[in-house]
Amino acid sequence: MQAFTYFLIIYTGSALVGLSLLWFFYDRRDKRSFEANRRRKVFHCVRCGNLYSVRKGDVSFGEPCPECEYNNYELSF
Ligand SMILES: [Zn+2]
């Protein structure tokens, strides 16, 4: 009886630890991919009307349009 109780505790405990590790891993991965998408800078070309985005950190000097190479500045909301 005693051995069975220990087995039950270890079995349930290891399942809980395993699920917690999986949750932790997938939560961190989702957060990272969400942050990478959120940090995109959006541009609207005033010459051709193209909408585009980049992942650069510093865009204070603008970013050229991929369609017509016109230098545009970041959209601010
Ligand atoms: Zn353009």
Domain match, 53 and 29 both: no
Q: Are residues 31 and 45 in the same domain?
A: no
> What's the 72 CA to ligand 1 centre distance in angstroms?
8
Predicted pLDDT of residue 18 = 97
CA of 74 to the centre of ligand 1 (A): 13
Ligand 1 centroid distance, CA of 62 (Å)? 13
Distance CA 2, CA 52 (A): 66
CA 37 / ligand 1 centre spacing (Å): 22
Position 60 scores a pLDDT of 85
User: Does residue 26 share a domain with residue 9?
Assistant: yes
pLDDT in tens, the chain (77 residues): 688 899 999 999 999 999 999 999 999 999 988 887 778 888 999 999 999 999 887 888 999 999 999 999 988 77
* CA 60 to centroid of ligand 1, rounded, Å: 18
Predicted pLDDT of residue 50: 94
pLDDT for position 70: 93
Domain of 25 in residue numbering reads as: 1-38
Q: pTM of this prediction?
A: 0.53
User: Which phi and psi angles does 48 have, rounded to 5°?
Assistant: -115, -5
Do residues 31 and 49 share a domain? no
